[in-house]
Amino acid sequence: MAYTVLARKYRPQSFGDLVGQEHVARTLGNAIEADRVAHAFLFTGVRGVGKTTTARLLAKALNCEKGPTPTPCNECDPCTDITAGIDVDVQEIDGASNNSVEDVRRLQESLPYRPQRDRYKIVIVDEVHMLSAGAFNAFLKTLEEPPDHVKFIFATTESHKVPVTIRSRCQQYDFRLIPHRLIAERVGSILDAEGLSADDEAISVVAREAAGSMRDALTLLDQLVAISDDRITADTVAASLGIAAREALYDVARAVLEGDGARVIHAVDGLADKSVDMQHFARQLLELLRDLVVLKLDAGDPAEWVPEERQSAESLIHGIDILELQRAFRATSLVMDEMAHSPNPKLMLEMGLVRVATRPPLQSVSELLARLDAMQGQSGPTDGSSGGSRPRAKKAQATERRSNPKAEAKPEPKPEPKPEPKAEPKPRPARQPEPEPKLQDPNQPIMPATKHSGGFHTSSGDVLTPIRRAALQEWEEMVGRLEKEQPALAAVLEHGVPKTVGPERIVLSFKQGSFYGRQAQSPDSIAAIERIAEQQLGARPEVEIRFDEAEGSTRTVAAVAAQRKEAELEAKRKEALNHPRVRDAMDVFPESAGKLNVLIEAE
């Protein structure tokens, strides 16, 4: 007799045998007992969770000679034929190979006829999402109003590919991933039924590698039974599946969390020698770190560990802060992303885990704030100051105390200050008469000026005469007055260079082709300038607008305002950087020197 694989041999034969899908079994059983069974069902979920099995169970429950009943007898002809897959009134159709309109039309032609023996004619379409758009459309009318003796059961792993018009005509049941514990229990019971033995850790690894699929777990178990001699062990499972043993996994995790980079390299090299899949190992490590976080939070038994494995996990996280576990999880997930885009996953895993292992330790914010407060308390304000910057000598002493604790224990004695001899007063030199201010040539270009007690300094070091300074100030004041009445015109005139500003004549210069110059030439602009000049200077001057190709933009009111604003911002930046708190923080984080950015909010 041909060998039957475990997944088929131990297929559930009643709703009570379904593992992990109790919500579906209970709902269908109640519907059968209440005689409220729908005409179309859609079973969705990942592979190997019981969709097709449940469809067959529903067919047996409806066609059993003792039914309809939620507990079919599995002894009558309909039950045995449906279990064997040879019932003439229960059709199982593969949606991938029968996906055309013609296939649906042939099916529809047989539906009006009564079932040959059973109570219902049941159509099971597996992988229904593979049907073509035309086939789905051909199904619509029949699916909405089928004959009373017809039931449709659709199964799919990709429900989003099923048109909403089909889904709206079906009762949808979502099949969940089967929990690790239930898979392990089912595998253990099958091993007992087969007269085989296995370690608890080996069963746990099989359940974990199944990733929620019962069929995958039984397929792996078939493979392990074939490769094992007497007893299935965890090492046999790891060698057969090409995965890392739990001991190697915990060894790497321990090296990462304890910061031992050398041990990480040796462990990864050992895994490579055993031909372990590095991508799979990274996923295993990430899952372990997640489980360690859950265990540290005491949020339950995250991985349904066997007692020995739980003890190893508890010893691993003893003394490890929860934040360090979270950092390790995050960093390992980034390593996985790097491996996915690298032609050498082993190299990326090795160096990535070394980077995680050698990361600097975390310091809590409360500890850093306490250190800052302590330093602030030790460095009070200097004599005659009220909260200015600390003396540089105290900063150097604080740095020396941190680097050399002995220096703080034995401070050097300060030498007694010696009285300085009083200097004899020098005779005050006779005051020299100030030279008369030298008038500047009007045709000479004006250099950018900065305010000085005796005038404005240019970049060349010359001092502008009071006449030139008064012209610039007069024009700036006039523009300020005009801004209150005509802000648009003031915004134009502040881009002009005042050559002459006086009660008889005002000369403004713009760059050749300037838009602002053309606006200032308009009669309304000239009249407004004359009116403001008469209010400020007491006379109505003649206004002349000039254009010069070589005219710059650094001697305008707008340029002066921009320079003044930039100087104010720079002063605020320096004030922020010299704040005692900021300097204390720079003492704690010396690597931040020269890298601080000061953001000043706009008023």
Please answer whether residues 238 and 281 qualify as being in contact, where contact means their C-beta atoms are separated by less than 8 angstroms. Answer: no
Winning range, highest mean pLDDT, from 372-376, 405-409, 490-494, 596-600: 490-494
pLDDT bucket at 304, cuts 50 / 70 / 90:
low
Domain coordinates in residue numbering, the chain: 6-174, 180-241, 246-357, 449-555, 559-603
Angle at 472 between CA 469 and CA 475, to 5 degrees: 145
Q: Write the CATH number of the domain with boundaries 180-241.
A: 1.10.8.60
Per the model's pLDDT, the better-predicted residue between 270 and 367 turns out to be 270
Model pLDDT, residue 551: 66
Residue 425 banded pLDDT, cuts 50, 70, 90? very low
What's the Rg (C-alpha) of the chain? Answer: 44
In whole angstroms, what is the distance from residue 245 CA to residue 500 CA?
90
Out of 128-132, 329-333, 431-435, 473-477, which region has the weakest mean confidence (pLDDT)?
431-435
Residue 448 CA to residue 555 CA, distance in Å, equals: 6
Other CB atoms closer than 10 Å to residue 573's CB: what's the count? 15
CA-nearest of 230, 231, 287, 289 to 256 is 289
Between 289-298, 370-379, 387-396, 473-482, the lowest mean confidence (pLDDT) is in 387-396
Query: What does the pLDDT read at residue 402?
Result: 42
pTM of the entire predicted model: 0.54
Q: Which of 160-164, 237-241, 529-533 has the lowest mean pLDDT?
A: 237-241
Q: How confident is the model over 35-54, as a mean pLDDT?
A: 90
Residue-level pLDDT at 124: 92
Q: Which CATH superfamily is domain 6-174 in?
A: P-loop containing nucleotide triphosphate hydrolases (3.40.50.300)
Summarize the confidence of residues 365-369 as an average pLDDT. 71
* In the predicted structure, residue 195 carries a pLDDT above the cut 60: yes
Please tell me the predicted confidence (pLDDT) of residue 96: 86
Cα torsion through 487, 489, 494, 499, rounded to 10: -140
The position carrying tokens 């039914």 is: 67
Per the CB < 8 A criterion, the answer to whether 153 and 124 are in contact is yes
pLDDT at 447 over 60: no
- Rounded to an integer, what distance in angstroms lies between the CA atom of residue 331 and that of residue 474? 64
Average pLDDT, the chain: 78
> Alpha helix (H) ranges present in 506-551?
515-520, 523-537
Give the pLDDT confidence score for residue 122 in this predicted structure: 92
Look at 588 and 145; give whichever has higher pLDDT. Answer: 145
Provide, for the chain, the percentages of residues in helix, strand and coil under a 3-state DSSP scheme, each rounded to the nearest 5.
Answer: 55, 10, 35
| pLDDT tens-digit map of 9-33 | 888 988 888 888 889 999 999 999 9
Q: Is residue 588 a contact partner of residue 371, using CB atoms and an 8 Å limit?
A: yes
Question: What ranges make up the beta strands (E) of 455-504?
Answer: 455-458, 497-501
How does residue 234 score in pLDDT terms, banded at 50, 70 and 90? confident
Specify the residue for token string 């239930």.
Answer: 182
The percent of residues above 90 in pLDDT, for the chain, comes to 9
Q: How large is the average pLDDT for residues 509-513?
A: 81
Q: Residue 173 pairs with which residues in a beta bridge?
A: 43
Beta bridge partners of 123: 91, 152
Across the range 417-438, mean pLDDT stands at: 45
CATH topology of domain 246-357: Zinc Finger, Delta Prime; domain 3 (1.20.272)
What are 155's strand-pairing partners? 43, 126
CA distance 38 to 236: 48
Looking at residue 302, its pLDDT comes to 57
Q: What's the pLDDT at 306?
A: 65
Beta bridge partners of 122: 90, 151
CATH class of 449-555: alpha beta
pLDDT at residue number 505: 86
List the structure tokens of 82.
């449906």
Closest among 254, 258, 280 to 267, alpha carbons compared = 254
| Gap between the Cα atoms of 237 and 537, Å rounded | 100
Distance CA 127, CA 15 (A): 22
